[in-house]
Amino acid sequence: MFEKKTVLTGIKPTGTPHLGNLVGAIKPVIEMSNEAEKSYIFIADLHALNAVRDSALIKKWTNEVAATFLALGLDTKKAVFFRQSDVQEIYKLTVMLTNVTSKGLMNRSHAYKAVAAQNIENGNAADSGINMGLYTYPILMAADILLYDTDVVPVGQDQKQHVEMARDIAGSFNHIYNKEVLVVPEPVIQKVASAIPGLDGRKMSKSYENHIPIFAETKKLKKSIMRIVTDSKRPEEPKNPDESTIYQLYQHFASKDEADTMRKEFTDGGLGYGDAKKMLFETIELSIKEPRERYYDLLEHPDKINEVLQSGAERARKTAAQTVNKVFEAMLGKVA
């Protein structure tokens, strides 16, 4: 689907990556970058700023997200892998785009409206706690996308509106300046594998105490898996695999045959939750063992991570600088 296209995606460093992120975002992004003609994958640290006010945390999570991609084998010779804040052109393009973006467009942003609605529900003023970083989030995201002549942005449903706004902004720009300066991107909605459940059965999320970090150490991984909440069915009773957190996780790490076997044993009865948890633990442990070593080795050597990200940023800047020059030329009659 992505052959001959420039695809781009950003990942916000707002927590230690968990198994839900791995299955729902990180693995698909690595696969996409293998398929695409050209891919840009970046850590959206500037996008984290509207919520995270601790530089040490942003740094920690940026390193963790980067180390996760590298440990899992992202091919950084092919993909341009970088940190958003390292490409100076992002700041320039963002300022320029504010002038072709209507306030009304920002008023319609779901991300900002959700916070305003929550404020009202809590009896607070609508704008309470809303900073301009949140309000203008779609402009920064449009700049990310438009800087690199992106054709396609693969996103989950929650980000679709942001990509549509980037289309609108590119369209307005080209219309106002009467020239095809910016490439108008397309969103591609990733088919939603149903959300990976967490330890308590709700969607696994960093916002709940229900997540399992991708690279949890062996003992911690085992302990977490043993804590997965189940009902009280006895081993011989039939169980619905589609309602079982254990099976939901297992199917993403086991081979197809292994997953089919667990599915049948749950459906027919005969497999107890304790044994199923053991199988889940062993399967995840096997699949993350090697990347986990690489991950902790990278975190111990943050200079190695930095080197990879910096060299990615240098590659990213080649296209970014050209785009910014074209934009400056159109708006100011001079290069940047």
Size of the site for ligand TRP (CB under 6 A): 13
Q: Which one of ligand ADP, ligand TRP, none interacts with residue 145, CB within 5 to 8 A by kind?
A: ligand TRP
Among 156, 269, 270, 302, binds ligand ADP (CB under 6 A): 156
When asked if residue 259 is in the footprint of ligand ADP (CB under 6 A), the reply is no
| Angle subtended by helix axes 273-300 and 218-226, to nearest 10 | 150
Q: Which one of ligand TRP, ligand ADP, none interacts with residue 153, CB within 5 to 8 A by kind?
A: ligand TRP
Q: Which one of ligand ADP, ligand TRP, none interacts with residue 83, CB within 5 to 8 A by kind?
A: none
Footprint of ligand TRP on 259-318 (CB under 6 A): none
Closest residue by Cα to residue 298 from 63, 27, 73: 63
| Shortest Å distance, C-beta 43 to ligand ADP | 12
The three-state DSSP-derived secondary structure of 68-95 is: HHHHCCCCCCCCEEEEHHHCCHHHHHHH
Q: Which one of ligand ADP, ligand TRP, none interacts with residue 44, CB within 5 to 8 A by kind?
A: ligand TRP
| Shortest Å distance, C-beta 137 to ligand TRP | 7
62, 75 Cβ separation under 8 angstroms: no
16, 206 Cβ separation under 8 angstroms: yes
Q: Which string of x and - marks every residue 24-63 that binds ligand ADP (by CB under 6 A)?
A: xx--------------------------------------
What order do you get walking across the sheet with 186-189 strand by strand?
A: 80-83, 38-43, 6-11, 152-155, 186-189
**Nearest-angstrom CA–CA distance, 66 and 23:** 16
96 CB-contact burial (10 Å; exposed 0-12 / middle 13-18 / buried 19+)? buried
Q: Interface with ligand TRP by CB under 6 A: which residues? A: 8-10, 12, 44, 47, 141, 144-145, 153, 155, 159, 162
